[in-house]
């Protein structure tokens, strides 16, 4: 570590830390703490400070469950409502032209996660490619993705999304001071973060704040209708022991941990009733989020920026693995859950979908079905729609570390994150025992293509509009496959989707 770099941002001077050839500023506030009367309100401007703000350590993670914010085996990031902060990593040498900017939105189903996870360490990627990388926190779960606005005039909807917009606005105003180019910003996210990226494509408030988009393993249809959002809010209020008359006072006064825990209980119960349904998610409120993102994208009402989008080959390989599938009961990895999902959403689609899986109901078929339903189906819908209006590049990441191949999980959800960041945290070292060199080659191959997209708007393979082309990344030298998802899409395209289930059957004991 060298000198402590200081930068004058709009609210005051921030002091970071130098690590070799990169500088890192942690926990820089992009909005005022959403505490007290600002709970359930849109993010407010940061009050200016005097002196120099120490941005050398991580502050708070957003509230979630206790395992949501690990910083190591025995260390965790403290959770607090004062979480509207971001981290900036930039080359130490900021002479010369401004650098391309990436803004990363972490995943976690809109209810867990933090930008401080070791797997999100930006230093390796910044040192290798000379970009500026911003990672952000935003409100989660009951404090960010439940619409309580019906209970008080000053409560607002879509708070987590509003936080993300505020972070993008901060980047637009401040990133030049860190060496970044505000006219070349790529919005990048994984899982729920990828879903958020696609939502920002059509958010009026996000217009002009970014110029390219990367969505890794998104669930694009994870948005709630007003009726669904009202039901979720009502259940959360009841879980807190309140009713419509006492909801506002309860929500203002309850500990953040209580609201968070209530929302997670409601979320898990709803997903058991309708497998794959995400009840903690943005709501189509007719104002901030005016319509369904996939519809807006398909009909040309979204930002027409280049889009890089894709999934893992075995997204839910962990949820369908051995005895695990009996415990992870919120995705359709058993025949009983598949039947329950279709019964609650779109019974007429069941036969056509199941015909696509000739080995159904084998464990392998159920695992493929679950991943296709939750991730691949809505992702292809977005790729189809966006490709009508803007350059769209599809991929599937088939590479799995040695240990995951050995135990039969394969290329599961979130294993793409360390590949792109270039992380070699202990978990990655364990998973890649005996093939560290191959893993590094894979990481370099993926990084090169992602950064080429960030710099030029194309990752170096044909667009999806060229016969449904997709890049299959199964080794350091991936290959293009035309029509990769064509048969899957034909089977699923008429299905309404698990997010649109309107019936809520009573919880029951599953027979298998």
Provide the b/e sequence for 494-506 (b: ≥16 CB within 10 Å): ebebbbbbeeeee
Cβ 349 vs Cβ 342: under 8 Å: yes
Token pair 């409120």 is found at 285
DSSP 375: I
Sign of the Cα pseudo-torsion (242, 245, 248, 253, in order)? negative
Cβ 512 vs Cβ 239: under 8 Å: no
Residue 311 CA to its chain's centroid (Å): 12
Token pair 């999304």 is found at 161
Assigned token pair, 391: 């350059």
Nearest CA among 102, 101, 196 for reference residue 158: 196
Token pair 């991943």 is found at 371
Nearest CA among 233, 400, 251, 381 for reference residue 318: 400
The backbone torsions φ and ψ at residue 180, rounded to the nearest 5 degrees and listed phi first, read -90, 160
Q: Which residues pair with 12 in a beta bridge?
A: 9
Assigned token pair, 335: 């025949």
Alpha carbon distance 208, 472 (integer Å): 31
Q: Which residues pair with 310 in a beta bridge?
A: 216, 395
Pairing mode of beta strands 52-54, 12-15: parallel
Nearest CA among 176, 157, 163, 140 for reference residue 31: 163
Alpha carbon distance 317, 404 (integer Å): 9
Assigned token pair, 430: 């364990």
The backbone torsions φ and ψ at residue 138, rounded to the nearest 5 degrees and listed phi first, read -155, 160
Token pair 């990169």 is found at 22
DSSP 175: G
Residue 308, preceding peptide bond in cis (omega within 30° of 0): no
389 CB-near residues (< 8 Å, 6+ apart): 297, 300, 302, 304
Alpha carbon distance 62, 69 (integer Å): 9
State the catalytic residues: 191, 315, 413
């Amino acid at each position: 570590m060298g000198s402590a770099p200081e930068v004058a941002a709009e609210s005051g001077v921030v002091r970071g830390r130098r690590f070799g050839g990169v500088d890192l500023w942690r926990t820089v506030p992009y909005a005022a703490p959403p505490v007290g009367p600002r709970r359930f309100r849109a993010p407010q401007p940061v009050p200016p400070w005097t002196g120099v703000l120490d941005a050398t350590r991580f502050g708070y993670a957003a509230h979630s469950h206790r395992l949501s914010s690990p910083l190591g085996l025995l260390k965790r990031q403290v959770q607090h409502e004062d979480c509207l902060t971001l981290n900036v990593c930039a080359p130490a040498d900021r002479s010369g032209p401004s650098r391309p900017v990436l803004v990363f939105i972490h995943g976690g189903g809109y209810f867990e996660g933090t930008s401080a996870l070791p797997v999100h360490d930006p230093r390796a990627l910044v040192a290798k490619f000379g970009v500026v990388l911003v990672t952000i926190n935003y409100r989660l779960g009951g404090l960010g993705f439940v619409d309580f606005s019906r209970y008080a005039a000053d409560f607002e909807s879509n708070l987590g999304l509003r936080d993300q917009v505020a972070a993008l606005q901060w980047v637009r105003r401040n990133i030049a001071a860190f060496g970044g180019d505000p006219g070349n910003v790529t919005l990048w996210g994984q899982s729920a973060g990828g879903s958020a990226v696609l939502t920002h494509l059509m958010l009026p408030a996000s217009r002009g704040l970014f110029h390219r988009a990367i969505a890794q393993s998104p669930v694009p249809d994870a948005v709630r209708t007003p009726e669904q959002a009202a039901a979720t809010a009502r259940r959360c209020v009841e879980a807190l022991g309140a009713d419509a008359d006492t909801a506002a006072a309860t929500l203002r006064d309850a500990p953040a941990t209580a609201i968070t825990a209530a929302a997670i209980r409601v979320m898990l119960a709803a997903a058991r009733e309708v497998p794959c349904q995400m009840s903690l998610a943005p709501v189509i409120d007719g104002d901030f989020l005016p319509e369904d993102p996939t519809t807006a994208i398909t009909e040309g009402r979204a930002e027409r920026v280049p889009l890089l989008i894709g999934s893992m080959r075995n997204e839910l390989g962990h949820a369908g693995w051995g005895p695990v599938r009996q415990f992870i009961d919120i995705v359709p990895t058993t025949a009983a859950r598949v039947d329950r999902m279709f019964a609650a959403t779109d019974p007429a689609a069941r036969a056509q979908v199941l015909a696509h899986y000739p080995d159904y109901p084998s464990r392998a078929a159920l695992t493929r079905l679950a991943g296709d339903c939750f991730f691949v189906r809505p992702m292809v819908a977005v790729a189809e729609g966006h490709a009508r209006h803007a350059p769209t590049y599809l991929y599937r990441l088939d590479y799995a570390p040695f240990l995951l191949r050995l135990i039969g999980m394969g290329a599961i959800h979130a294993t793409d994150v360390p590949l792109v960041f270039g992380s070699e945290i202990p978990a990655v070292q364990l998973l890649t025992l005996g093939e560290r060199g191959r893993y590094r080659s894979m990481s370099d191959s993926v990084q090169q293509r992602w950064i080429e997209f960030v710099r030029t708007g194309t990752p170096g393979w044909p667009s999806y509009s060229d016969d449904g082309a997709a890049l299959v990344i199964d080794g350091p030298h991936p290959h293009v496959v035309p029509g990769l998802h064509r048969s899957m899409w034909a089977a699923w395209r008429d299905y309404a989707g698990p997010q649109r289930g309107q019936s809520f059957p009573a919880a029951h004991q599953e027979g298998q």
